[in-house]
Amino acid sequence: MQQTVFIIGLGLIGGSLALGLKRNKDVKIIGYDANGHTLRTAKRIGVIDEMVINMKDGSECADVIVFATPVSETIRLMNELPKWQLKNQVIITDTGSTKKEIMKAAISLREKGITFIGGHPMAGSHKSGVEAARPILFENAYYLLTPFEDESYERIQVLIDLLQVTKAKLVRVGAEEHDHMTAVVSHFPHLVAASLVHQLSFENELYPFTKQLAAGGFRDITRIASANPIVWRDITLQNRKELRNQLQAWTNEMSKLQDLLSYADSSDIEEYFATAKRVRDDLPINAQGAMFSSFDLYVDVPDYPGVISEVTGYLAKDSISITNLRIVETREDVFGILVISFQSTDDRAKAVDCIANNTTYETYIS
C-alpha cells in the first residue's frame, strides 16, 4: 500500500530524507519549501515527486508529515497544525536538533488526537541546500526518536518501518535524555570551538603570524565553528539550560587543569594526557556520531610535482569519490601532508586499500 509523506523544508536534511525514503517504491514524496527556487529545484532534480505552494494542500493527503525546519519554525508550525485538514491516522515528526521544547509543544497536538513522534537524524555534510541532498546521508548514522513515553507501539512502529529504508540506526530516547547527550557531544563542543576561534582572533592581533600556524591541528579541532550561525543560535537558545550545566562542568575541569599546571609533577601531567588518549582512542571510528564527520584520511606523501594527481588518479581509477582535498602546511598535530575527505567510511576504507595497493605511502585515520 502506498504511503504519502509530506516533507516541509527541503534543505540538506529534508532533501536527503526525501531521497532516502524514495528507495521504497511504495512511498510518494510531496514537498514544500518557503523558498520558491528551492522548491522548484527539488522537483526538477527529482528529490520530490510533487510540490505544493501551500502547506495545507500537502497535509490533506499525507500519511506522515515531516517538519525539516529549524526548531523555532517547527514549533510555530506545530501550533498552526490543528487548523489544517489532516488524515485521521496521520503521524507528525520532525528533524530538529533539540527535542525538549518540541515535545512540550506536541502536548497540545496530542490533546487534539494528533500523533507526534520527535525525530533527529544525526547526520550532516560540509555542503548545504537541496542540491547537496543525497540518499545515503543517513546510512549508519544514528536517528533518534523521542515519542511520548506512553505512545502506542503500533504508531511508533509505523514510523520506524517507514524510516528503515534510509539504513539509519533508529534509537528511541527520551527528550530530556536526548538534549543532555547532544549537549555533551555536539552542542557544547560547538561553543568550545567558537571560543577557541575567538581566542585565536585576539592573539592574532598581537602576533599576526598565529593564524598561519593554525592551519594544522587547530583548524581541524575548530572545524565545527564554521557551522551556520543562525542554526547554532537557535540550538543554543533551545538547549541553553543543558549548555549552562556543561559550561559549569567545563569550568570545573579547567580549574583542575589550572591546578595541574601550577602544582602537578611530570607523572601527573603525563597521566592527564594518557587518560585523555585512552578515552579518545576508544571512541568508535566507523560510526557517525552527533557531529558531522567528513571521514578524513591523512596521506603521508613525498613532496614532488604530480604526487597529488597521482594519488587522486588511483582513486578515480577505482571509482572512489572524494568530497575535499587539501595540503596541510602545519603538521605538528596531524599525520600526513595530504588530507582527503570522503562521503562515507566505506569510501575511506576503499581509499586506504587503493593507496596501499598502488603506493608505499602511509595513511592515517584520526
CATH class label, 296-364? alpha beta
The Cα–Cα gap between 73 and 79 comes to: 10
255-300 per-position pLDDT tens digit: 999 999 999 899 999 999 999 999 988 877 655 555 555 688 888 8
Q: Sign of the C-alpha dihedral, residues 195, 337, 295, 226? A: positive
β-pairing verdict for 115-121 and 338-342: unpaired
**What per-residue confidence (pLDDT) applies to 328?**
66
* DSSP category for residue 186: I
Looking at residue 330, what is its pLDDT?
Answer: 46
Q: Name the residue among 309, 294, 300, 304 with its Cα closest to residue 335.
A: 300
pLDDT less than 50: residues of the chain: 330-334
pLDDT of residue 356: 92
Q: How do the domains of the chain map onto residue ranges? A: 3-173, 178-281, 296-364
pLDDT on residue 286: 54
For the domain spanning 178-281, the CATH number is 1.10.3660.10
Strands 50-51 and 27-32: parallel
Q: Are 290 and 185 in contact (CB under 8 A)?
A: yes
pLDDT score, position 293: 57
What's the pLDDT at 336? Answer: 56
Q: Residue 292: what pLDDT?
A: 52
Specify burial of residue 245 (Cβ count, 10 A radius: 0-12, 13-18, 19+): middle
Q: Which residues are CB-contacts of 323 (< 8 A; sequence separation ≥ 6)? A: 126, 294, 341, 342, 343
CB 54 within 8 A of CB 33: no
- Helix axes 229-238 and 188-206, enclosed angle (nearest 10): 130
Reported pTM: 0.76
CA–CA separation, 16 and 2 (whole Å):
20
- Domain 3-173 fold: Rossmann fold (3.40.50)
